[in-house]
Structure 1
Amino acid sequence: MTEIADIEQVVAKVAHAQRHELVDEFVALFREDAVWTTGAGKLLIGRDEIAAFTREVLTGAMKGLIPSYEVVHVLFIRPDVAAVKVRQRYFTPDGELVAEMGEGSPLYVMAREDGRWLLTANQNTLVAAAVPS
């Protein structure tokens, strides 16, 4: 498997864990000392803080929603460090886009350790609505 395919697999696991509200599976994708900044700007440092926050906000949040996380760009900073830009959207079970959820544009900095890509320094950003010209 290529490095990009491995990275895409991690991003797919993020989507799977979100969709099924699997906090432990989500948190296992992070380095122990990972940094996560939420879409609202809350800084979380380390798996314990990420887990506590995720348990608080994820439980019940995906009812009727199917998250979609699409890798749109990968920049290898070093062979074992990559900046990964993701397109995040939410759909109904019928496949319709849930526009009121907005679109996310996360940036995941991932590091490969012991042959496994881990989320290391991450920023979840909400895409601002277009301003009419």
Structure 2
Amino acid sequence: MNAPRIEDHTDHVADVEAIRRIIADVEKGFNDNDAELLVEHFAQNGSAVTAMGTQIDGREAMLTAARAGLAGPLRDERARYELADVAFARPDVAVAHKHAWAIDETGEPKSVGHEMNALYVLVRENGRWWIVSRQNTIVPT
């Protein structure tokens, strides 16, 4: 059986920019220790897998985990995020890859022995994009 080829001829320039702004908000939330902004774009029933492999289901649980992490072990950490690519499975479903690097307080990359990649699945609902799933993966350097 041949796998289907997904054809989408929609102009996604505005969609990609909206997703880029979501990633920027996630970065700002992390860097500013703002748990609410960190999870603002997650759907209520979204899920996330942390870089350590823990699955967190539901926006409220993600908010609780973000508050604990940003007040604890991640309190003094900063990162730079870059949207690497976006593919559209349908006009209202996007899969995005994000690269992340640890940075110091001046914005310069820190050598911490790893980088991180993340996979986001987003859906457009009522005119805006929502994260329904995120998977973080540590990449040794």
Task: Tell whether the structures are fold-level matches, with TM greater than 0.5.
Answer: yes
Kindly tell me: are residues 48 and 86 of structure 1, through their superposed partners in 2, closer, same or farther at Cα, counting changes over 3 Å? same
After TM superposition, which residue ranges in structure 1, 4 or more long, deviate above 3 angstroms?
none
C-alpha separation in 2, matches of 1:51 and 1:104: 21
Aligned letter for 2:84? V
Per-residue Cα deviation, 1:48-78 (whole angstroms, up to 9, x for no partner): 1111111111125242x43111011101011
**Is residue 54 from structure 1 mapped to residue 66 from structure 2 by the alignment?**
yes
For structure 1, the 5+ residue unaligned runs are none
SS at match of 1:54: helix
> Which structure has greater strand proportion?
2
Identity of aligned residues (%): 28
SS at match of 1:41: coil
C-alpha separation in 2, matches of 1:105 and 1:111: 20
Q: Is the 8 A contact 1:7 1:117 kept in 2?
A: yes
C-alpha separation in 2, matches of 1:55 and 1:70: 23
Give the TM-score normalised by structure 1.
Answer: 0.89
**Is residue 71 from structure 1 mapped to residue 83 from structure 2 by the alignment?**
yes
In structure 2, the residue matched to 1:97 is 109
C-alpha separation in 2, matches of 1:96 and 1:16: 16
**Is residue 116 from structure 1 mapped to residue 128 from structure 2 by the alignment?**
yes
Q: Is the 8 A contact 1:90 1:101 kept in 2?
A: no
Give the TM-score normalised by structure 2.
Answer: 0.84
